[in-house]
Amino acid sequence: MAKKKQKQKSGNAVIYARYSSHNQREASLEQQIAECKKYAERNGYTITEIYQDAAVSGRTDDRPAFKRMMRDAEKEKFDYIICWKSNRIGRNMTQTMTNMAKLAEYGVECLYTEEDFDNTASGRFALRNMMNVNQFYSENMAEDIKRGLMDNAEKCLVNGKSPFGYKRGEDGRYAIDDHAAEIVRQIYDRIIQGWTITDIMNDLNHRGIKTGAGKPWSYQSFDKLLQSEQYIGVYKYSGVRIEGGMPAIIDRAVFQEVQRILAEKKNPRGKKKDCADYFLVGKAFCGKCGSPMTGVSGTSRNGTKHFYYCCNAKHYDHTCDKKNVKKEWLETFVATAIKEMLYDQDLIDWLLSSYENIIQQIKEESKVSTLESQLAEVEMSLGNLMKAMEAGAFNEIVINRINELADTKKDIEQALAMEQEALKTFSVDELRKTLYEYRDGDLEDEGFMRRLIQTFVKRVTVYDNDDIGLECYFGEERRYPASWLEDHTIVRERSSVLHHSP
C-alpha cells in the first residue's frame, strides 16, 4: 500500500453534501451545507469549494460532484473534506473504505459535523462500525422499497413515471391524460395510414408537441409507445402482468394492426394494394392555415381506393376548410418541378462550386468529438449502475436512472450517426454524376420519386387555389400556378443535353 503523503496542512477545506430524494428524513443540501459552514467557522477552516449531489444514492460512486471532488483531492487542492455525516461519503462499505484510503494517500482528512471520529485507532474502529451500519441501513431500505413497489404492482398502482398518455389518478392508479392520449391515437392512426416514424416525428416537433419528458420527439420516443401493451389496458411492472389493470387508450385491433405493420417493415413482404406511401408527409403544409398535411384515403362507390393530402387542422381539429389534394398529382407536380430545376445548368454549376465550401463548413461545425465523449461518459455511468445493481443496489431510483441513461445513450448514438454521416463526402465529379442521375431519372419509378423528393425538397406549400410553393434545400421558395403541370413537359431530346452529361 502506498504511503500517505506528508504535506503541510493549509487549513483549506471543501464541503461535500449529498441528498437521496427517496429518503425525506435526511437533511436537505442547504441544511447540510449550512451546518458544514458553521463547523468550518468554529474550527478555523477556510472553505474553498462546495461539492453537492442531489437525488443520488450513496451506494454508488457514480456521483458527478463526488467524482470531481476525488479528482481535485488527488491534485492536492484541499486538505479537509467536511460532511454532515459519514454516510454522505457513501453507504457501500467496500467502496467507502477504498475511497477513504485514497483520500488518506492524498493527505486529505474527512471531518463530520454530526459525528466525532478522531484520527486514532479507536476512532477509526468506530468509523468502520458506522460504515457497516450505513451499509445495513441502505440494503434494508432497498429491500423495503422493492417490497413496496411489488405490493403496488399487485394493486395496479402507479410505480415510477407514467407512460405518455397516462397520469396518476386520485386513487394512485393510472388514469388517461386526455390531451396526450389523443396524440397517442393519432400516432397509431398514422402508422396504419402509411406514415413513417420520421414523418410522424417531424410533424409532432413542428407542431410543438413534446414527449412526456418535455423533450422533442426522437426515434427512440416511439419504441415503447408503439409496442407497449399498457396502451390496450395491460398493467405491467417487473414481471407482474394484469389484463385490464389500467384504462386502454388504443383499441386492441388497432394495436395488433400496428404490430403487424411494424413487423412487416422489419421483414418487408411487399406493400398492400390498398395502402400508399405519402412521400411529402412532414414536408407538405397547408397554405391557408400553415398546418402540416397528412395522408388520407377514401373509397369510391365502385370500390376504387383514392389517396389525398389533407390539412391536419381540417382532419383532426376541423378548424380549416382547405380542400384535399390528390396524392399522385401533388407528388408528380413536385418531382417534375425538381427535375426541371436540374435541367438548369447554371444551378448545377452553382451547386458544384458551392459544394466544397459546404463540406468544409459541415466539418467545422461537426460535433463528433463532443458526442463521442458524451457517449463514453454515459456508457461508463451505465456500467457503474449495473455493477451497483449486481451489488444489491436495486431500487426505483437506480432503475429510473438506468432507463434515463439508456434513453440518453440512444439519443447520443443517433446524433453521432447523423454527424458521422454528414462527414461522408464524395468528389465533385461524383456529385455531378449524381445530380445528372436525378435529373434523368424515371418518375414512373416510385422508389426514384421518393429519393428525389427526400433529397431535394425542404417544404411544399399548397395554397388555397392549389398553387404550389416549392422550397428546396438549395434555394428560396418558387411558386407555381396549379396549371403549371398541365402546360409543362419535361420530355427532352437526349441530344439537347449531351453536352451537359458527365
Tell me the backbone φ, ψ of residue 25, rounded to 5 degrees: -80, -15
Per this entry, what is the length of the chain? Answer: 502
Rounded-to-integer distance, Cα 292 and Cα 286, Å:
6
**What average pLDDT does the segment 125-139 reach?**
55
Confidence class for position 268, pLDDT limits 50, 70, 90: very low
Per-residue confidence (pLDDT) for residue 232, from 0 to 100: 93
Strands (E), 155-304: 166-168, 174-176, 234-237, 240-243, 284-286, 293-299
Contact by Cβ (8 Å): 293, 309:
yes
Rounded-to-integer distance, Cα 4 and Cα 100, Å:
12
Please state, for a pLDDT cut of 90, what percent of the chain lies above it.
19
3-state helix, strand, coil in the chain (%, to 5): 50, 15, 35
Asked whether residue 371 carries a pLDDT value surpassing 90, the answer given is no
Kindly state the cell numbers that stand for 134.
450505513
- Burial class of residue 309, CB neighbours in 10 A (0-12, 13-18, 19+): buried
Q: Which residue has the cell 484541499?
A: 78
Rounded-to-integer distance, Cα 58 and Cα 56, Å:
7
Confidence class for position 176, pLDDT limits 50, 70, 90: very high
Kindly state the cell numbers that stand for 369.
468529438
**Mean pLDDT of all residues in the chain?**
78
Contacts of 160 (CB under 8 A, 6+ apart): 396, 399, 400
If you write DSSP's letter for every residue of 71-93 in order, what string do you get?
Answer: HHHHTT--SEEEESSGGGT-S-H
**What average pLDDT does the segment 317-340 reach?**
89
Per-residue confidence (pLDDT) for residue 360, from 0 to 100: 64
**Distances, alpha carbon 406 to alpha carbons 11, 352, 431, 501, in Å:** 42, 41, 38, 49
Per-residue confidence (pLDDT) for residue 21, from 0 to 100: 53
Phi-psi sector, 402: left (phi>0), alpha (psi -120 to 50), beta: alpha
Q: State the amino acid at position 190 in one-letter form.
A: R
Taking the complete model, does pTM exceed 0.95, yes or no? no
Per-residue confidence (pLDDT) for residue 405, from 0 to 100: 78
**Local structure of residue 453 (DSSP, 8 states):** H
Look at 127-131, 191-195, 332-336, 483-487 and tell me which has the smallest mean pLDDT.
Answer: 127-131
pLDDT, tens digit, 9 for 90 and up, residues 457-468:
889 999 988 899
User: What strand order describes the sheet that includes 293-299?
Assistant: 293-299, 305-311, 325-326
Helix, strand, or coil (residue 460): strand
pLDDT, tens digit, 9 for 90 and up, residues 375-411:
888 888 888 877 776 666 666 677 777 777 777 788 7
Contacts of 280 (CB under 8 A, 6+ apart): 293, 309, 330, 331, 334, 453, 457, 460
Kindly state the cell numbers that stand for 84.
454532515
Asked whether residue 487 carries a pLDDT value surpassing 60, the answer given is yes
Compare 79 and 351 and report the one with higher pLDDT: 79
Asked whether residue 492 carries a pLDDT value surpassing 60, the answer given is no
Compare 170 and 120 and report the one with higher pLDDT: 170
Per-residue confidence (pLDDT) for residue 42, from 0 to 100: 92
Architecture of domain 166-266: Alpha-Beta Complex (3.90)
**Local structure of residue 163 (DSSP, 8 states):** P
- Specify the long-range contacts of residues 369-375, CB closer than 8 Å, at least 24 apart: 371/412, 371/415, 371/416, 371/419, 372/416, 374/412, 375/409, 375/412, 375/413, 375/416
pLDDT, tens digit, 9 for 90 and up, residues 402-436:
777 777 788 788 777 776 665 665 566 777 888 88
Compare 463 and 276 and report the one with higher pLDDT: 463
Rounded-to-integer distance, Cα 303 and Cα 340, Å:
36
Confidence class for position 133, pLDDT limits 50, 70, 90: low
Helix, strand, or coil (residue 130): helix
Confidence class for position 265, pLDDT limits 50, 70, 90: low
Compare 489 and 289 and report the one with higher pLDDT: 289
Asked whether residue 247 carries a pLDDT value surpassing 50, the answer given is yes
Contact by Cβ (8 Å): 24, 34:
no
Per-residue confidence (pLDDT) for residue 8, from 0 to 100: 66
Per-residue confidence (pLDDT) for residue 287, from 0 to 100: 92
Per-residue confidence (pLDDT) for residue 501, from 0 to 100: 31
Please state, for a pLDDT cut of 70, what percent of the chain lies above it.
75
Rounded-to-integer distance, Cα 92 and Cα 94, Å:
6
Per-residue confidence (pLDDT) for residue 272, from 0 to 100: 44
pLDDT, tens digit, 9 for 90 and up, residues 50-109:
998 876 654 566 788 898 999 999 998 999 999 988 777 765 666 777 788 788 888 898
pLDDT, tens digit, 9 for 90 and up, residues 3-61:
444 556 778 999 998 876 544 444 578 888 999 999 999 999 999 999 988 766 545 66
**Local structure of residue 316 (DSSP, 8 states):** I
Q: Would you say domain 12-145 falls under CATH 3.30.60.50?
A: no
pLDDT, tens digit, 9 for 90 and up, residues 178-231:
999 999 999 998 888 778 888 888 888 888 899 988 889 988 889 889 989 999
Kindly state the cell numbers that stand for 169.
389518478
Asked whether residue 502 carries a pLDDT value surpassing 90, the answer given is no
Confidence class for position 126, pLDDT limits 50, 70, 90: low
Asked whether residue 455 carries a pLDDT value surpassing 80, the answer given is yes
Nearest C-alpha neighbor of 164 from the set 120, 108, 112, 228: 228
Nearest C-alpha neighbor of 202 from the set 265, 281, 278: 281
Per-residue confidence (pLDDT) for residue 494, from 0 to 100: 32
Kindly state the cell numbers that stand for 366.
461537426
